[in-house]
Amino acid sequence: MVAVYVLDVAEFHEIVESARRKPQCRITKSDKGYFRIESDTDIVFNRKEMKMKPAVWYGLFTGGLNGEIAEFGREEVRVIGTNKPL
């Protein structure tokens, strides 16, 4: 399983909206100021699709994650599940 934690600030809301368009993603909102995006499979985000500026893009994981970043490029990031202990 993969879980990405996204800070509940306007700059990052498009990440959550992008995940809502992905059928494998489940989103829950915490009362502690973040969203949790969860999937049983890989999650791929595309910077241009989300219309994100590079500075925000490179701060994508400031909320944390459970999983492993398999690819992180200028335009796309892929997060995969991992069996490694946290």
pLDDT tens-digit readout, 25-56 = 999 999 999 999 999 999 999 999 999 999 99
User: Which residue range(s) make up the domain with 32?
Assistant: 2-80
Q: Determine, yes or no, domain membership for 85.
A: no
Mean pLDDT of 13-29: 97
- Single-letter amino acid, residue 79: V
Say what the pLDDT of residue 84 is. Answer: 65
pLDDT band at 76; cut points 50, 70, 90:
very high
Structural domains counted in the chain: 1
CA 55 vs CA 1, 6, 11, 16, 52: distances in Å: 27, 15, 10, 17, 8
Inside any domain, residue 23? yes
| Mean residue pLDDT across the chain | 93
pLDDT at 86: 52
CATH of the domain at 11: 3.90.56.10
Question: What b/e string do you get for 5-33 counting C-beta neighbours within 10 Å, with b at 16 or more?
Answer: bbbeeeebebbbebbeeeeebeeeeeeee
* 14 vs 85, higher pLDDT: 14
- Residue 86 forms part of a structural domain: no
